[in-house]
Amino acid sequence: MPRKNTPDATSADEVFLRRLRRHHDELRWLYMELYDNADMFGELVSQLRRFYDERPDALRALDAEREAQGAWYRSRDLLGMQMYVDNFAGNLKGVEDRLDYLERVGVNYLHLMPFLDTPADRSRSDGGYAVSDFRRVKPVLGTMEDLSRLARKCHGRGISLCMDFVMNHTSDEHEWARRARAGEGEYMSRYFFVSDQGVIDRYTRDVPQVFPTTAPGHFTYLPELGQSVMTQFYPYQWDLNYRNPRVFNEMMYNFLYLANQGMDIIRIDAVPYIWKQLGTNCRNLPQVHTIVRMMRMIGEIVCPGIVLLGEVVMAPVEVVPYFGTVEKPECHMLYNVTTMATTWNAVACQDTRLLRGQLEAVCGLPREYTFLNYLRCHDDIGWGLDYATLSTWGMQEVPHKAYLNRYFQGLEPGSTSRGELYNADPVTGDARFCATTASMCGVEAAGFEGDEAAMEVAVRKDVTLHAYLLAQSGLPIVYSGDEVAQVNDYSYKDDPERAEDSRYIHRGRFDWSLVDRADEPGTVQARVFSALRALEAVRRAQEVFDAGAEVTIVDYSDPAVLWIRRRAGEKTLDAVFNFSGEDRTLWMPTRAMYEDLVAGAAAEFQTFELAAWDFRWYLSA
């Protein structure tokens, strides 16, 4: 309910009106350019005020604190973790009960994988991305009240919550879809219905397919209507028609409703797809940027403490437009997808040249741009690499992808990785890859073989890759279970609804027994867990890890060596990584006094030894 006319309410009025005045003219101009509908714009502004009035006082205070702080999401104190609620703790109340553990891990940014209501049939939920109701939590996970309480508990501990906001489509069981299927024109207009085969053929010609092997085509035929509906992802996910202002308005109301439950980071799923236009490839169209820009302004009017995280799966230099400009920003953060894939390419090839180029491209962007960095996530790893550059080194795309897939399955000589292919195409030979970080690093293989020497290398590789993750600029995210070296879970094959989707190999239930082993000195879990906590502590303590630090990539002569240099104030960090199965002797630029930030010791030297798959963080003044 709106607040009564008290001095505090008057102050709140002034805050809202100040924010609205700041953005009103641009917001109206963009809206009218897209929709030319003054009545719908008036409704939008009225609803912005309603959601502002309904925003809890604690969240308003957090908004004010973050506005004063500025770019709070760029702090070097932040460490993120991604997880499925049910796999981690059963339900939202279970997550609340496990907050002590998350604090112990050092996590203060928690990405809860999709938890909104989806079809009861798991095979039609797409892992939570087929939303049936944007204002209802999946019943097995809890209620919206549970979510709000979890957010309050997290905020009390300094933990921010991230959620997925699926803007591109709804489930075919969403109320809009059910009413559209019943023939109601108002709701049919919220999707793309087509009866002309010629239009479908044009889409087929111009628009790339998202899942050509598992969900081919762009439309699904509905015999009860004698028409087809656009379904770019899966047949049970109906693409929303953002040409209709009612769709935009209602989805913004859903966005603000979720923000008012205490969400801090809203991950906009599949951003490039949300605007469709016949005759184009329906990707990254200018109207997409208009929508994201309006979304950014709407957030800054009602709930300026939140962050927009864009899911744009492209190379960093290509995703840059989704940051917008300094004057007209869009997303606060974007995923560093290509760097992730290129990292695993460097592991398989023991060659960091392509990775160096990728990191140099990121370093060349304005420091204000914030990327979310990770070694792996809930999804597969696609080999979207720079094949033009690889070809100059004699590595052709098709055979190179085949090599990577063989390597990470453990089928290449010398490989200790274990995992499985996803969405493999027997015609093109193309495929993606799935596994946990520990299994890709060799922990699973060494444990199965009982090879302690191999386990020593596997643990070192795992820790080194995390040290490399933390040395990058941006927000580091670990996947739940990686902190205790959890390996692949093959039990998904016993579940008929999941057996065909190998991504569940790394989406297994969190093994809490591994946490107990993390307290036992000498175990794999203890070695990984303690090492990661020590690295996080160093990162938080040293200003060279600040988001505004100057970062360069050293062109070292040995291609197996990755060398990241960070400078802040009078201090320089040389973060050096050996992506090789052999020991190395390396040279610093000059003989000087260097402090080993991990070992906590300082010495004067110019050359140093680096074991296979090892690293050093050397600080100098």
- CA 79 to centroid of chain Cα atoms: 13
CA distances 108 to 102, 259, 311, Å, are 8, 18, 21
What phi, psi does 494 have (nearest 5°)? -90, -5
- Percent of the chain as helix, strand, coil, to the nearest 5: 45, 20, 35
Quick: pLDDT tens for 419-463: 999 988 777 778 999 999 999 999 999 999 999 999 999 999 999
| Strands in 101-168 per DSSP E | 109-112, 116-117, 133-137, 160-166
Report yes or no: 229 and 189 within 8 Å, Cβ to Cβ.
no
CA-CA distance, 470 to 535, in Å (whole number)? 8
- DSSP class of 381: B
CA-CA distance, 101 to 481, in Å (whole number)? 12
- CA 199 to centroid of chain Cα atoms: 34
CA-CA distance, 101 to 82, in Å (whole number)? 14
Q: Please list the active-site residues.
A: 269, 311
Instruction: Report the phi/psi class of residue 36: left, alpha or beta, with left for phi > 0 and alpha for psi in -120 to 50.
Output: left
Q: Which of 250, 291, 333 is nearest to 72 (CA)?
A: 333
Tokens of 540: 């938080």
Report yes or no: 175 and 186 within 8 Å, Cβ to Cβ.
no
Q: Which of 611, 572, 600 is nearest to 459 (CA)?
A: 611
Quote the pLDDT of residue 74: 96
- DSSP class of 382: P
Tokens of 139: 């019943």
Quote the pLDDT of residue 155: 98
For the beta carbon of residue 569, count every other beta carbon within 10 angstroms.
10
For the beta carbon of residue 511, count every other beta carbon within 10 angstroms.
15
Long-range residue pairs from 420-425, CB within 8 A, at least 24 positions apart, any chain:
420/488, 420/502, 420/505, 421/502, 422/380, 422/501, 422/502, 422/503, 423/211, 423/213, 423/214, 423/380, 424/213, 425/212, 425/213
Quote the pLDDT of residue 314: 77
Report yes or no: 249 and 256 within 8 Å, Cβ to Cβ.
no
Instruction: Give the chain's count of helices (H) and strands (E).
Output: 22, 23
What residues contact 1, with CB distance under 8 A and at least 6 apart? 53, 54
Which segments of the chain have a pLDDT < 70?
1-10, 316
Structural domains of the chain, with CATH: 175-239 (3.90.400.10), 544-620 (2.60.40.1180)
Quote the pLDDT of residue 9: 64
CA-CA distance, 127 to 338, in Å (whole number)? 23
Q: Which of 536, 503, 530, 534 is nearest to 515 (CA)?
A: 530
Alpha-helix residue ranges (DSSP H) falling in 143-244: 144-156, 175-181, 185-188, 197-206
User: How many Cα neighbours within 13 Å face the side chain of 619?
Assistant: 20
3-state DSSP of 502-555? HHHHHCCCCCCHHHHHCCCCCCHHHHHHHHHHHHHHHHHHCHHHCCCCEEEECC
7-35 and 245-259 helices, crossing angle to 10°: 150
Quote the pLDDT of residue 5: 47
Quick: pLDDT tens for 97-128: 999 999 999 999 999 999 999 998 888 888 89
Report yes or no: 394 and 415 within 8 Å, Cβ to Cβ.
no
Long-range residue pairs from 349-355, CB within 8 A, at least 24 positions apart, any chain:
350/560, 350/579, 350/580, 350/581, 351/559, 351/560, 351/579, 352/559, 352/560, 352/561, 352/562, 352/577, 352/579, 353/393, 353/559, 354/385, 354/386, 354/389, 354/390, 355/562
